[in-house]
Structures are given as C-alpha cells and as structure tokens.
Amino acid sequence: MMQQIIEEAESVLLHTYNRYQVVFDHGDGVKLYDIDGKEYLDFVSGIGVFALGYGNKAYNDALKNQIDKITHTSNYYYNVPAIEAAKAVKKASGMDRIFFTNSGAEAVEGALKAARKYAYLKDGRTDHEIIAMNHSFHGRTFGALSVTGTPKYREAFEPMIGNIRFADYNDLDSVKALITDKTCAVIMETIQGEGGIYPADEAFIKGVRALCDEHDILLILDEIQCGMGRSGYLFAWQEYGVKPDIMTTAKALGCGVPVGAFLMTEKVGQASLKAGDHGTTYGGNPLAGAAICEVFRQYEEKNLTEHVKEVGTYLYEKLEEVKASCPMIKDHRGKGLMQGLEFDREVAPVINKALENGVVLINAGTKIIRFLPPLVIEKEDVDAMIAVLKEAIKEL
C-alpha cells in the first residue's frame, strides 16, 4: 500500500523533493506512525515546526474552535485572533510592529522590502545594497533566494534582485569591508541552519550590531528556524543581548499551521512600509492567529525554554560522546535543540538506516546530520535516538 501511494504521488506532484520512502499517517507526542502502523521517534519535527509534538489536544481544540467560527476574512477587516497573536509575539520578542505572512520566505521578502523602503525614505535613492552571509539560507522566493549565500540554490535562476553583497559569517572584518554609503541592511540567521548549524559568535553579532548603529544600517535577524525557543531562548538573539531592527519568524510560530511574520521596531515601523506598500490575502487569518495564541500559551505554561535548555544540554553531552567514539565525525555544534554532527563523508546512509530502524533524522548539507526534535522531548527520547544513531553510523 505504501509503495502504491508513493508511486501515485510521483505521478501527480512536481518532482522538486527527493523524499524519503515513507508515508506518515498520524502522530502522538514525539512519535510518528506510517500508514502501515510502524512507529518512529521524530527528531525532525517537520523541519523545526512541530515544537509541541503531535496530537496535542489543547492545540487541536483551539484550531477546531476557530474553524467553527471563521477561518478567513482578508486584511480589509480586523479579527481578534490576529490581534491577540500580535500582542503575544510582541511581548515575547520586545519588538513593536508585526506583519503576518504565510511562510518564512514571505517574511524575508517583507523584511527586505521594509529595509529598502526605510533607506529610500531617508535619501530618495534606489541603489541601496544589502549585506548577506555566505552559506546562509533564507528561502526559495526570488528576494529570499537573492540573499541566500549558497550559489547552487541561485545559479539556475539568475539574475537575482540586485545589489546584494556576501560577507563571511562570524568574520566581522568581512562585513566591515563591504559597508558603503549605499548599504541599507545586514541580514543573517542568528544560527545558520541549512548552512551547517553555525551559531553566531558573540563578538560577531555584537560587532555587526555596533556597525549597523554606527552607519544607520538596519540589522535583520532571521529566526525562522532557530527562533521560537529552539535555542533555549524564545528568540536566539536574546541570549546575546542584542536586538534587531527587523526580525523574521515562522516554522514553530504556528506549530503546524502555515504562518510566518516579520517584526520591526517602532522606529522602522514609522519610517518604512506604508498603506499600499505590502499586502497578503491570507496572512494573519483567524485560524493562524488562534494557533499562535495557543502556541504561546503552552510555551508559557510548560516553561518550554527552560525545558529546552535542560534537554538540549543532555543532547549535547550525548552527541559529544558519539563524536568522541567516532573518528569520522569532524565536528559537533549547535544550541538547545538545534544541533548538528559533521562527518567526513556523506551521511545519507546513516539517515536512511535510522529511518529503517524507527528514528527520523535529517541532513544539513550532504555531510551533516541535523537534530531538530519537538521541543517537548525528554531525556529518555534522546537516549533512544542515540542508540539507533550509533547502530546507523555503522553503515558508514
């Protein structure tokens, strides 16, 4: 039955994903089940989305209740769930203004537009430059792809939007070297995800913040993957004691409902996008708003960031043990429940064997295994994953 469904999928879906050969049917807690009933321990959480785990009754009930009321009105009208969601995100982030999108890539698009409009209103020029980072990933739409610092994602779709310059992550001098009187923004992930799980060095992120202040340049921090508690802080930049002018978020913001957002300070909000500059049909719909409100309610109720710090530390210790016992592992890095093991060879055989043995893992590049479990995992789940991982590594 599973193979039949896979074959049907390949006959109707555009082949832009090389999918793993499994059809998931339902989930419960941190477990997934395929259509044949086989159980899997999930260490991917839909690429960092399902922070609260599967079958969360309170979350499901909040969505069901909203569906029975209304799911869409458009942004020509106000709706209470979106307003309450905005208040929750504002409180958690300390930012001032928010625009809800349908995805992380759209959040990046809006952030880039806001930065360029801010600069345009200052000097009336349209030749402003944005500094992005090599090995970054911000999304697949044209604007987001233009600031994604991995050429293989961009080259078939050139030309991108213009005036993008790439610096080296965690190399402050490389950022300084690119700043001109045309520079209007620096965009970077607080923890690089697809690029290999690289957290920002404290000196680097503070140095970039100081450069932006010195030159009246906007700092855009992409928290789409590393935000919403995954690092052990609601937003990863909060650990460093810096604050962006604009930030993006998505993934676990809705814990399964497609929703993203870009946020900005009042200063940027009052001097960038105005009525008519930006819009979206579905963004901030009542269903997404209800999801966000329930997500933040449960984060607070469960004290989830402290839980992530505790279990994330345990995961780090266990992965260090794996690294110490395996010469082919070159590096281990990350924060909280966003960690990676870098091997000296491709890791697909390990991921496939782990899946066969009931653990869902994912890569970040061809030689890195990425660990992005639901934030509600416990230490015994880490132990179970490690046991399967050790066996799977023997495939190499």
Q: What pLDDT is attached to residue 396?
A: 78
Strand locations in 137-201 (E): 164-167, 183-189, 191-192, 198-199
Quick one: tokens of 346?
A: 């491709």
Angle at 346 between CA 343 and CA 351, to 5 degrees: 90
Rounded CA gap, 236 and 226, in Å? 6
The tens-digit pLDDT sequence of the chain (396 residues) is 889 999 999 999 999 999 999 999 999 999 999 999 999 999 999 999 999 999 999 999 999 999 999 999 999 999 999 999 999 999 999 999 999 999 999 999 999 999 999 999 999 999 999 999 999 999 999 999 999 999 999 999 999 999 999 999 999 999 999 999 999 999 999 999 999 999 999 999 999 999 999 999 999 999 999 999 999 999 999 999 999 999 999 999 999 999 999 999 999 999 999 999 999 999 999 999 999 999 999 999 999 999 999 999 999 999 999 999 999 999 999 999 999 999 999 999 999 999 999 999 999 999 999 999 999 999 999 999 999 999 999 877
Contacts of 228 by beta carbon, 8 Å cutoff, 6+ apart: 51, 234, 235, 249, 251, 252, 253, 295, 299
Yes or no: say if 261 and 253 are a contact pair by the CB < 8 Å rule: yes
Residue with tokens 């409009």: 117
Which residues have C-beta within 8 Å of that of residue 317, sequence separation ≥ 6? Answer: none
Give the 3-state secondary structure of 59-94. HHHHHHHHHCCCCCCCCCCCCHHHHHHHHHHHHHHC
The predicted structure's pLDDT at residue 13 = 94
CA dist., res. 22 & res. 87, Å (int): 39
d(C-alpha 23, C-alpha 355), whole Å: 12
Could you tell me where the DSSP H helices lie in the chain? 2-12, 45-48, 57-67, 80-93, 104-123, 142-146, 151-154, 172-176, 202-215, 266-269, 286-302, 304-324, 348-356, 379-393
Q: What per-residue confidence (pLDDT) applies to 198?
A: 97
Q: Which domains does the chain have, with CATH numbers?
A: 2-55+303-393 (3.90.1150.10), 70-301 (3.40.640.10)
pLDDT of residue 270: 96
116 closest CA partner among 151, 153, 161, 86:
161
Give me the pLDDT at residue 38, please: 97
Q: How far apart are CA 186 and CA 11, in angstroms?
A: 42
Handedness of CA 229, 232, 236, 241 (dihedral sign): positive
DSSP state, residue 164? E
